[in-house]
Every structure is written in structure tokens, then in C-alpha cells.
């Protein structure tokens, strides 16, 4: 068979403050090289002469303030980057004032000594579906770490439909000290260290992860509320330990259901309030939604700065089938890494600063006895909202109650289930409490390949070869079928 012809390449000249946008089809990849000039992808600066790879239906945009010449598809002159840069400038001023206050340094001449002006930015980003909230968060984080002030802002993701650094069904938070790259929707916030023994050099984040177990925020709002407040407590504890690091601030990415008129108002308002309270929010950014902006102004405008920012014209309308594929990519990537085939004729290239071979994992399967792993679900598998129950009816199982799962039961639903492995319980019995399992962080994930009821054994797949015997795991509604 003759060698495949090299992939066609094109060279474009980008004028200042323009961007080019691309959308990849399934099973395709793209290589981009900055020939000369300066450019960035969602705030992460490109290195001149370096090849960047993109795959797994990635949709992104390269923006330039000063002009450049990359290889591309189409160019747009209408971008909201100037507005986003203005927001970054305002947040940067808050960081500088907060750091001056922490160090006891005087403020610049003419600055007011209003205590609110000396608080580090704690930003909540809201918006409906397909508004580009995650992109805004990445841009603001990347601009902060590029500012040359050694900021390490925290980024929290409370959208369980978006895998963030791990997989769907989770909430997570991490301190970010380097640019968040964009190369695949399977890793929307870049590469993080996993349970696999993989050495990462560019951006090995270790996020704190909580397990919600579902992608729909309406599945168990009480649990979601608790997990949000848990993350907030952890963030505040970290800030208390590092007062100077606190000045870097926090940005919180939220689900589209928080800004959607199709979601029940009571549901949205309670979870937004949980975020505002738990993370001590002082800035709310509303992306491209006038009605939501008015609602937030009325609810929080008296003590929180509420700002409406434009939605990018490059935001792609994503349908449910695409979102399902991305969630499948994320589960597969957690187990197998990023096996990306560069375009024909392209050698080298990086995925988020790493060579593709460094991001390929070799998961292992293990056969274990049913009793080797304690498995629970929180509430029931299909929990109707309280409002849907008959009058005076009482639940037999609370939404917050840990329910043991018997793998031998015909209705266990463990075949193909994704399990979150939890950190150990508190060794001090005096510090233990009934719902402690709800507050334990996640140390890794496995999935159940087979359940042999007759032999009372099950086969699990893990991204590393470590034993999970004796651990506690939580199941949810997420499933993964190895292909």
C-alpha cells in the first residue's frame, strides 16, 4: 500500500484583534504552528515555531492582539476579547490590593481604602447552555498566571456534566500556576495527574475531587448542594493556610442549568446561593443573558458586583449527542490516556505541552471477590423530586442516605458502572459521623467490566496496577463500556 499523502496545509495572516476558529470532525486531528507573531488559545500563549495538536472533536479559536501567521481555516474579526481583557484588568487590580493588604503595604496614591476594594476576586461565572462559560474561566485564569505576579488562582468546577480534570459526575477544584491548554474536549482544563503512574512535566495538577455520580444537576440537588459547600470549605481552609496565595482569588465554573429558564427557579436559586455562600463570592459574571443578569442584580447586587459580559460569536451550538460523545471520550481518556494520531506528514507536536506518547496509559483489569470492595450509592438510582411524591408520603430512602450495594443482587446495576474510590475514613472513631462518606474526597476511579454472580467475583478496570481491595467506592448513574 502506498504511503498516504501528507495532509494539506494552509498559511493565513491574522490581523490584530482577530481570531480564527476551527471545529474538528470525529476521528480527525489538526496541527497548528505559529510561524511568527504572537497568538493565544483561550488565554494560553502559543510558542513560535512549536507544533500543537488537537483532536477528539475539539472546537477552539486562536486569537491575536498584535497579528500573526498561523495555519488555519477561517478568520473572524468580531471577538469579545477586549471585554474579557477589561474584566481581567479589574480582577488584577483586586488581586494587587488584596496582596498589599495582606502584606500591610500602603495602597497606591489616590486609591480608596474601601475594604471591599481590598478583597481578592472570588468570581462566579453564570450563563445558559452554549454560552462559553468554561472558555471565559480559562481565559481569565490564563491571563492571571501570565501576569508575571506569580499568581496561583483557584479554579472550581461545579458542573457535573463537564469532566474538568477527571471524569463527568464530579465536582473539583485546583490551584492553577501555569496556563490551561486546549487540545481536546476530553480534557477541557488540561492534563491532571491521575491514579496512573504517568510522569507529567507541563501541567500536573492534583485537583480535589468530589463524587456526585450523575451529569444532571436535578438528579440529587440536596447532594449537589452539600458537595458545593464542602468544596467551598476546602477552598477557604487552603486560603487560611496561605494568606498570600489567597490574594490570587478564585473562579467558579457552573452548570448551564444554573442559568437556564428551563430549570425550575427554586432549584437554580438554591444552588446559586450555595455557590455564593460557600465560595464567598464577590463578583458574578453573567455571560450573554440579560434576564439572568437582571435576576442576579436583584438577588445579589446589594453586596456582590454583578457584571454582564458578551458571549463570543465563536461559541458552537452543541447538541446532546455531541455532549454524550465528549463524556465517553473523557471516561476513555481517564483509563487509556490520549492516543492521538497526528495528521499525515506531521511529526512531533504536543498535546497541552506533553508529547502524545507520554499521555498514553495502560490500564489493568483485576478479578476480585464481592466482599473486597465496599460499594454504596447515595439515595436511590431513580429519585423522584420531593414535590412529585403523594401528599403526606414519606421517602423510604433519603436523598443523602448511603445505601450499600450488593453485587449479587439482580438489580445492583454494577455491570459497566463507574465507581469512585474514596479516601479513607477518619481513623479516630471519635471524629466519625453517620454521613462521613458524603464528605470524603475521591482518590481515583475504576469501572466494573464483569459481574460473576455465581462465583461471587467481579472484574474491574483501573488506570494503574494498585490494589483497590479494602477500599470504599461510590456508584452513581455513569456507565462506561470498553470498546
Residues in the annotated binding site for ATP: 19, 59, 130-135
Please give the C-alpha separations between residue 288 and each of 200, 219, 294, 320, 377, in angstroms, as whole numbers.
37, 27, 12, 21, 37
Q: Which residues are annotated as a binding site?
A: 19, 59, 130-135
Q: Which phi and psi (to 5°) does residue 57 adopt?
A: 60, 35
Please give the C-alpha separations between residue 59 and each of 145, 188, 198, 315, 371, in angstroms, as whole numbers.
23, 11, 27, 9, 44
Burial class (CB in 10 A: 0-12, 13-18, 19+), 475: buried
What's CA 430's distance to the chain center, in Å?
A: 35
Neighbours of 454 (CB within 10 A): 6
Sign of the alpha-carbon torsion through 52, 58, 62, 63: negative
Q: Report the relative pairing of strands 51-54 and 30-37 from DSSP bridges.
A: antiparallel
What's CA 2's distance to the chain center, in Å?
A: 43
What's CA 368's distance to the chain center, in Å?
A: 32
Give the Cα-Cα-Cα angle 332, 336, 340 (nearest 5 degrees). Answer: 90
Q: Are 478 and 460 in contact (CB under 8 A)?
A: no
E-only strand ranges, 205-267 = 208-211, 250-253
User: What pairs with residue 41 in β-bridges?
Assistant: 44, 62
Half-sphere CA count of 39, side-chain side, radius 13 A: 30
Element holding 172 (H helix, E strand): strand 170-175
Q: Which phi and psi (to 5°) does residue 254 adopt?
A: -125, 165
Q: Report the relative pairing of strands 250-253 and 154-157 from DSSP bridges.
A: parallel
In three-state secondary structure terms, 29 is coil
In three-state secondary structure terms, 215 is coil
Amino acid at each position: 500500500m502506498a504511503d498516504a499523502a501528507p495532509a494539506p496545509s494552509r498559511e493565513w495572516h491574522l490581523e490584530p484583534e482577530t481570531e480564527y476558529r476551527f471545529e474538528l470532525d470525529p476521528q480527525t486531528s489538526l496541527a497548528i504552528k505559529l510561524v511568527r507573531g504572537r497568538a493565544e488559545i483561550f488565554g494560553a500563549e502559543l510558542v513560535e515555531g512549536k507544533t500543537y495538536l488537537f483532536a477528539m472533536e475539539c472546537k477552539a479559536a486562536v486569537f491575536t492582539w498584535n497579528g500573526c501567521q498561523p495555519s488555519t481555516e477561517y478568520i473572524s474579526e468580531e471577538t469579545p476579547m477586549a471585554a474579557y481583557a477589561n474584566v481581567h484588568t479589574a480582577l488584577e487590580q483586586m488581586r494587587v490590593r488584596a496582596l498589599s493588604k495582606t502584606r500591610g503595604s500602603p495602597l497606591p496614591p489616590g486609591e480608596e481604602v474601601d475594604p471591599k476594594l481590598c478583597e481578592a476576586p472570588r468570581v462566579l461565572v453564570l450563563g445558559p447552555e452554549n454560552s462559553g462559560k468554561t472558555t471565559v474561566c480559562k481565559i481569565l485564569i490564563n491571563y492571571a498566571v501570565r501576569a508575571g505576579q506569580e499568581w496561583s488562582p483557584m479554579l472550581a468546577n461545579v458542573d457535573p456534566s463537564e469532566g474538568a480534570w477527571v471524569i463527568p459526575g464530579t465536582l473539583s477544584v485546583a490551584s492553577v500556576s501555569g496556563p490551561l491548554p486546549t487540545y481536546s474536549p476530553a480534557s477541557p482544563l488540561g492534563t491532571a495527574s491521575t491514579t496512573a503512574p504517568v510522569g507529567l512535566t507541563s501541567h500536573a495538577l492534583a485537583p480535589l475531587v468530589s463524587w456526585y455520580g450523575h451529569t444532571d444537576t436535578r438528579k440529587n440537588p440536596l447532594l449537589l448542594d452539600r458537595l458545593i459547600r464542602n468544596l467551598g470549605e476546602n477552598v477557604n481552609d487552603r486560603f487560611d493556610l496561605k494568606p498570600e496565595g489567597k490574594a490570587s482569588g478564585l473562579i467558579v465554573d457552573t452548570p448551564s442549568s444554573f442559568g437556564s429558564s428551563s430549570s425550575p427557579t427554586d432549584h437554580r436559586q438554591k444552588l446559586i446561593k450555595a455557590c455564593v455562600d460557600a465560595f464567598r463570592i464577590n463578583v458574578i459574571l453573567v455571560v450573554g443573558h440579560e434576564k439572568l443578569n437582571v435576576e442576579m442584580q436583584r438577588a445579589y447586587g446589594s453586596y456582590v458586583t454583578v457584571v454582564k459580559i458578551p458571549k463570543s460569536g465563536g461559541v458552537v451550538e452543541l447538541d446532546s449527542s455531541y455532549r454524550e460523545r465528549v463524556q465517553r471520550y473523557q471516561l476513555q481518556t481517564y483509563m487509556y490516556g490520549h492516543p492521538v494520531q497526528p495528521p499525515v506528514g506531521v511529526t512531533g507536536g504536543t498535546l497541552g505541552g506533553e508529547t502524545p506518547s507520554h499521555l498514553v496509559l495502560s490500564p489493568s483489569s483485576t478479578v476480585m471477590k464481592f466482599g473486597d470492595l465496599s460499594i454504596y450509592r447515595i439515595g436511590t438510582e431513580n429519585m423522584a423530586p420531593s414535590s412529585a411524591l403523594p401528599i403526606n408520603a414519606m421517602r423510604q430512602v433519603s436523598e443523602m442516605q448511603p445505601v450499600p450495594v450488593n453485587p449479587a443482587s439482580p438489580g445492583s446495576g454494577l455491570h459497566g458502572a463507574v465507581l469512585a474510590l474514596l479516601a479513607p475514613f477518619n481513623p479516630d472513631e471519635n471524629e466519625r459521623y453517620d454521613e462521613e462518606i458524603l464528605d470524603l474526597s475521591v482518590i481515583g476511579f475504576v469501572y466494573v467490566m464483569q459481574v460473576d454472580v455465581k462465583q461471587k467475583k467481579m472484574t474491574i478496570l483501573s488506570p494503574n496496577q494498585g490494589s483497590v481491595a479494602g477500599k470504599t467506592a461510590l456508584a452513581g448513574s455513569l456507565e462506561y463500556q470498553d470498546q
